Amino acid sequence: MDMRFTPEQEAWRHEVRAFLKQEMTPEFEVELESQDYTTSTTSVPFSKKLAARGWLGMSWPRKYGGQDRPFMDQAILSEEMGYFRAPTAAHSFGLNQVGTAMLYHGTEEQKLNWLPKITKQQVVFSQAFTEPHAGSDSAAIETRAIQDGDDYVLNGQKIFCTSFHRSQMMYVTTRTDPNVPKHKGISLFVVPVDAPGVSSSRGLTIDHGRENTVFLDNVRVPATNMVGRPNQGWNVMMTSLNMERTGLEPPARNKRDLEDLIEYAKTHHRHGRPIIEDPFLRYRLAECAIEIE
């Protein structure tokens, strides 16, 4: 037993592992790998199984569909999901980026409406932040949102919207005030992907995945779909991106990949001896293990 964890936490890890060993069968992994990268990481049926167990948003308050469980339980779950290469994209963006932003910045009405839908896997979200001239500089967005009565009208273009074609709702950054410093005039909206005026084109990535360019042409969105206060979207966006950068799953997935690589090096030969006996390779594998840890 790893002494960093309590007996209760260790029992929880074993419960999660038992579930994943049952679900992540070799046949299911082959099925996922036969699809393009984006689709293979987005399994709504798998996410619904987690939702049925109350494992989505488990650290959230019960009134919003959570379980009021410790953050460490959530961390253990995320780590195991990564290690078993579970397809989590159907719920992870809505849960981590959108849901967390709503918890901190949303209205009570938004929390009661959207958060239970996220924890029950009743909606899949996609991200629409990046633009042709606004990549790493997230504040350089040009997509406009102009208020018209109780609505906002959105016009602009978003790129690299990876899961757009698998989602029902987009999480969109817009410029609501062009006359202030660029970090000060941003607002975020939840937008239905099938709203009138939303269209997309498909692109392929080098790893056989899919990304989408999304066009917003006079898309009308209720003001109640704004997450956070008008022109305060930079703070909301940073809350979302901070959650995206926590990154518990990738190191665990990398650990599994390294274990597979080591097993391959033990069982395959080059020049009449196991690959693992190559001193340079052993050094590189040790470096990888240290970096992952």
For 24, half-sphere exposure in the C-beta direction (CA atoms, 13 angstrom radius) is: 20
CA 70 to chain centre: 21
Distances (CA, A) of 33 to 136, 153, 182, 203, 245: 30, 40, 42, 19, 25
Contact 194, 170 (CB under 8 A): no
Q: Which residues pair with 211 in a beta bridge?
A: 203
- How far is residue 264's CA from residue 116's CA, in Å, rounded to a whole number? 44
Residue with tokens 């308050």: 61
Q: At what angle do helices 279-292 and 249-267 cross, to 10 degrees?
A: 160
- Active-site hit among 8, 31, 33, 244: 244
Active site residue 15: no
Single-letter code of the amino acid located at 121: Q
- How far is residue 217's CA from residue 199's CA, in Å, rounded to a whole number? 8
Strands (DSSP E) contained in the chain are 125-128, 144-148, 151-158, 169-175, 186-192, 198-204, 210-222, 226-227, 269-270, 273-274
- How far is residue 210's CA from residue 285's CA, in Å, rounded to a whole number? 31
Contact 121, 91 (CB under 8 A): yes
Residues with a known catalytic role: 244
